[in-house]
Amino acid sequence: MPKRTKRVNASKQPTSVITGGAGFLGSHLTDLLLSRGHRVIGIDNFVTGTVDNIAHLAGNPNYKFIQQDVTEFLFLDGPVDYVWHFASPASPIDYLELPIQTLKVGSLGTHKALGLAKEKGARFLIASTSEIYGDPLVHPQKEDYWGNVNTIGPRGCYDESKRFAEALTMAYHREHSIETRIVRIFNTYGPRMRINDGRVVPAFVSQALQNKPITVFGKGTQTRSFCFCADLIEGIYRLMMSSHSEPVNIGNPREMTMLEFAESIIDATGSRSKIIFKPLPQDDPKQRRPDITRARTWLKWEPKICLEDGLKPTIEYFRGKISS
């Protein structure tokens, strides 16, 4: 397969473009890239991102922000070395309220971001998701598993937008010889998550900090694995800088039930909350744990921050949000 010969000149400052740059993960990626000498251009339309996540970058000469919908044509002057496509609603509340926008950013937005990478001769990374595996029939999930997704269910807009984004990325890789990377992100947590975004970490932590009942769906036997954002971003950075175009799972293989996780949140916050149970949402995955053999082998990466240590700054972040 033909490859582009362009490589970043080590003697000059690399330029990275991050779509979804004001989001939870996009803003943490921005911080990492700036710390490693990149010039960063962030793009976001603030549908789910927030200016609070990037306010600390005001006045940084190596950072530029553009408020724009990534589904529109992306035109930038000057060279670009890396395009990191992180724009997308990423929580159940968001993509259930914004199903068409979710599908558009995964399709049209990915098309525009790939077009920018093609024009600039840049390397491209798509932030995909473990949700492409759907409610998996194999466990743990390996990258060669094709998934079990309900295309017309309420979660289908998100799952299928990411599956399409992966297919489009590989089409550009094969047809236009663009250097592409695909990361499949498993459950991630940390500061800068939105307190009301519907994901389990902000939901449980905010309920616990206010001594409200912690809502567990089903019997709490469904499993997830949680990776701290700093670990995840390091893995994604290593993938972009690697030579691998095949998908790579990035996540923490430590698996726990939702009931166990709720109890750990109560312990970590010192909460008086009680656990209550509600019906399991449609198509909610029963199991979720990454096989990270590729990440370990190809990237020499595995998570280093245990849940207990990662929860400390996360809880303090939400404590500040609740008290403000």
Closest CA to 130 of 142, 122, 121: 142
User: CA-CA distance, 120 to 77, in Å (whole number)?
Assistant: 10
Among the listed residues 158, 172, 189, 237, the single catalytic one is 158
Answer yes or no: 158 catalytic: yes
Residue 140: cis peptide before it, omega within 30 degrees of 0: yes
Active-site residues, by number, are 158
